[in-house]
């Protein structure tokens, strides 16, 4: 088992939540995080940060921030699921 306490994972810790599960309920169809949700193992999802390029991580971050803004503005409705009710 590899460590999830690495410099790269700590640097990108803000992506752990959206990589582990959509914080807004069901993800939108174009969500680039969907492949992570298919892994079904939170530790393995987090470990993916180590193998993804920093450029791709930055793109994931931009998508997530834009998604948060759309929810904040009410453009998308929060869908209540087991992820949002934890």
Helix (H), strand (E) counts: the chain: 5, 0
* Structural domain includes residue 58: yes
List pLDDT tens digits, range 21-58.
Answer: 998 888 888 999 999 999 999 999 999 999 999 999 99
Which range marks the domain in which residue 28 is found?
7-72
Contact 15, 64 (CB under 8 A): yes
Residue 76's pLDDT band (boundaries 50, 70, 90)?
A: confident
Instruction: Tell me, yes or no, if the pTM score tops 0.85.
Output: no
- At 17 the pLDDT is 94
Is a pLDDT exceeding 90 seen at residue 79? no
Residue 1's pLDDT band (boundaries 50, 70, 90)?
A: low
d(CA 37, CA 45): 8
Instruction: Tell the residue number behind the tokens 């993800």, with chain if given.
Output: 27
d(CA 75, CA 44): 32
* Number of domains within the chain: 1
Instruction: Tell the residue number behind the tokens 């009710």, with chain if given.
Output: 85
* Structural domain includes residue 37: yes
Phi, psi of 76 (to 5 degrees): -125, 145
């Amino acid at each position: 088992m590899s460590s999830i306490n690495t410099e790269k994972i700590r640097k990108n810790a803000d992506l752990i939540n959206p990589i582990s599960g959509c914080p807004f309920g069901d993800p939108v169809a174009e969500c680039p995080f969907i492949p992570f949700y298919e892994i079904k193992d939170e530790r393995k999802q987090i470990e993916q940060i180590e193998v993804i390029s920093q450029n791709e991580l930055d793109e994931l971050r931009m998508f997530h921030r834009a998604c948060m803004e759309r929810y904040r503005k009410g453009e998308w409705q929060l869908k209540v699921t087991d992820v949002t009710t934890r």
